[in-house]
Amino acid sequence: MSAVPQKLPNAHFVVVFAALLVTAAGNTALQSVLPVIGREIQIPDMAIAVIFSLSALFWTFSAPYWARQSDKRGRRRLMQLGVTGFGVSMLLCATVILLGIKGVLAPLVTFALFTLARGLFGIFGSAANPAAQAYVAGRTLPAERTASLAILASAFGLGTILGPAIAPIFILPYVDLSGPMFAFALIALAVVIWLQLGLPDDSPEQALKGGGAEATMPSIGGMPTGATAMAAEETTSTGRRERMQVTDPRIKPFMIFGFAAGSLQAATGQAIGFFIMDRVGNTGLHATQLISIAFMAGAGATLLAQWGIIRLLNLSPSQLMRWGSLLGAAGVAGIAFAPDFHALVLAFAVASAGFGFARPGFTAGSSLAVSRHEQGGVAGAVTAVNGACFILAPAVGIGLYELKPELPYWLSALGLLALAVYAWTNPLLRKSAVET
């Protein structure tokens, strides 16, 4: 029989939070420097998108497996595995990029080796999140569990701001653009040691009851929507891992909306780094700094929308989807027509805020569409849809960008306007307006 949950010590929560924070920060830091790296080494823009798409594909398929394994192998061990996978991937990526920048490796060889190294993160990095959730859920009382899991989920959101903010600091002599990756590899090592020393033994026979759920890969444009925390809480309460089919008639319109909105965000977000370099005309460290500023503005706007404005205005899911789509359309259109960097950053922030409304809207709406005992299943469906958005959409976005830089933003603006109409006219999506 599992032991009764006791109050989780703050020191233990901090180290678990750090395990997720470093993963999110490191991944988004890499996103902020990789467009510049690609141009420096002469790797095609499409190849950069393919690297991220393959990593997201590996993450999507490995995450459910690691969610199940955390029950069998211990939470601390799986957190260490996830952070170690991230750290080793970063170290290998940094080494490959450094050799590519120095001219030791040809561009094609650099691309191939970097793709393999990045794949390690997709395969093993997803182990940390479900184990962290299960660790926290098993050590908090039911009355505190929701708040604790929500705070834990915010690690991904904070990481998307922190990563781009500190990445330029580590662009140092000799290591150059590979510096941020070396730095995060060292930080990951420190977190693995901290997990070992800072958490008590968590072998399966000593583990408290608690459930975790897979999460989507942390990335720019991939902010958490709350589904993974919802699934973890339900798994802890029921002891079952369930997944509802995305084609279930009650949630299908929400899944269509969520997949479309997430795909548009992934496509436009993948291209924004290249767009900044081509529009402003900078390379190297200065380009990295400009991209980091834009990424921080976008992540900050998303967090402001999700943590502040939604709660302040008490918007319904239907309102979030409608107004979020319209705001997102205005933002991505503004990116296409931005005359300078400052206008571009403002437009990207507006677009990010719009997505920050729309995607939690479809998550909340799908949750309200099913009964209480099905919450874990619908949360799993939402997580699956969110993950699917980042498999093909980044490559599609870059493909459109190569045809004409403004094209992915024009088409995304039209797509978001269509989603606003869909949210207004579909009976199930409109019905969610009456739920608060």
Instruction: Specify whether the backbone of 174 is left (phi greater than 0), alpha (psi in -120 to 50) or beta.
Output: left
**For a pLDDT cut of 70, what percent of the chain falls above it?**
85
DSSP 349-409: HHHHHHHHHHHHHHHHHHHHTS-GGGHHHHHHHHHHHHHHHHHHHHHHHHHHHHH-TTHHH
DSSP 263-279: HHHHHHHHHHHHHHHHH
Dihedral Cα 306, 311, 317, 320, nearest 10 deg:
-60
Q: Is the pLDDT of residue 14 over 80?
A: yes
Q: What is the pLDDT of residue 367?
A: 81
The C-alpha atoms of residue 78 and residue 126 are separated, in whole angstroms, by: 9
The C-alpha atoms of residue 257 and residue 241 are separated, in whole angstroms, by: 25
Query: Which domains occur in the chain, in start order?
Result: 7-203 (1.20.1250.20), 246-435 (1.20.1250.20)
Among 133-137, 164-168, 375-379, 403-407, name the one with the lowest average pLDDT: 375-379
Q: Is the pLDDT of residue 69 over 80?
A: no
Average pLDDT (174-199) is: 93
Q: Is the pLDDT of residue 125 over 70?
A: yes
Q: Considering only CA atoms, which of 231, 230, 293, 301 is closest in space to residue 265? A: 301
pLDDT (tens digit per residue) in 234-254: 555 555 556 677 788 888 999
8 Å CB contact between 18 and 135: no
* pTM to 2 decimal places: 0.84
Among 66-75, 128-137, 271-280, 318-327, name the one with the lowest average pLDDT: 66-75
- Pairwise pLDDT comparison (260 vs 379), residue with the higher score: 260
Average pLDDT (383-407) is: 89
The C-alpha atoms of residue 273 and residue 279 are separated, in whole angstroms, by: 10
Please provide residue 103's backbone torsions phi and psi, each rounded to the nearest 5 degrees.
Answer: 85, 5
The C-alpha atoms of residue 306 and residue 303 are separated, in whole angstroms, by: 5
Distances in Å between the Cα of 161 and the Cα atoms of 51, 102, 130, 219, 385 are 22, 30, 22, 10, 24
- Mean pLDDT over the full length of the chain: 84
Q: Is the pLDDT of residue 2 over 50?
A: no
